[in-house]
């Protein structure tokens, strides 16, 4: 196996590294020798959707895929916050009053275009050589970097208080967890993501991917 791009639909509850390990084991069993497999950008454990894996000599091409634009669908739960911005953190209700669809439509344009976004504490970014999420778990307070990102489009797919479903097309390096939290701050309700699905990476689409469960059979 000289070079191959493999599209996998990641399920919730498994890390991206876990997906790589399982795919590597399966391909190595088939080939009768160790096969190199690498990812081109991770998804949070609670998230689902498209992972591009590179196999064999294709692993040398990872830089081609790291900076590609991405499309996500997310469920934003208003009226509560999470210490991690997702279901894995400590959830706290804010007792905020429900907001209207019109109020949400009015604030979303503020997030479209080139904006600054602070990297979340629970992320894989390295701070002084250590992953930020490891420092966060230890309770170490660090100043997280601020990045310039681009949100090309942001649309409402569905809304019924407190659940807001959105679709966003964004530049590489955008944290959708942070976007959800920032929407909640702008509305004065607080918010965190209850679900996140990556549907596309540039021209690669999740409809063309193989479910991890099916791949492992």
The residues carrying an active-site annotation are 44
Q: What residue has token string 């429900």?
A: 98
Q: What distance in Å separates the CA atoms of residue 14 and residue 28, rounded to the nearest whole number? A: 20
Half-sphere exposure of 146 (CA within 13 A, CB side): 4
Distance between alpha carbon 167 and the CA centroid of its chain, in Å? 13
Q: What distance in Å separates the CA atoms of residue 176 and residue 75, rounded to the nearest whole number? A: 10
41: tokens are 């950008």
Of 73, 20, 75, 69, whose CA–CA distance to 42 is shortest?
20
């Amino acid at each position: 196996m000289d070079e191959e791009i493999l599209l996998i639909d990641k399920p919730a509850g498994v890390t991206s590294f876990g997906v790589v390990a399982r795919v590597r084991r399966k391909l190595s069993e088939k080939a009768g020798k160790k096969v190199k497999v690498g990812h081109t950008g991770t998804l949070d454990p609670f998230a689902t959707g498209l992972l591009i894996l590179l196999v064999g000599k294709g692993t040398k091409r990872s830089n081609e895929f790291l900076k590609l634009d991405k499309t996500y669908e997310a469920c934003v739960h208003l009226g509560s916050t999470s210490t991690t911005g997702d279901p894995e953190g400590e959830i706290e209700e804010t007792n905020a009053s429900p907001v209207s669809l019109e109020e949400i439509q009015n604030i979303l344009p503020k997030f479209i275009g080139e904006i600054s976004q602070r990297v979340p504490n629970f992320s894989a970014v390295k701070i002084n050589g250590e992953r930020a999420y490891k420092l966060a778990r230890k309770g170490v307070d660090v100043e997280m970097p601020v990045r310039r990102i681009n949100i090309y489009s942001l649309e409402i797919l569905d809304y019924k208080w407190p659940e807001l479903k959105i679709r966003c097309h964004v530049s590489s390096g955008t944290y959708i967890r942070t976007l959800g939290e920032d929407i909640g701050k702008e509305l004065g309700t607080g918010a965190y993501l209850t679900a996140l699905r990556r549907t596309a990476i540039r021209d690669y689409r999740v409809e063309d991917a193989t479910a991890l469960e099916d791949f492992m059979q």
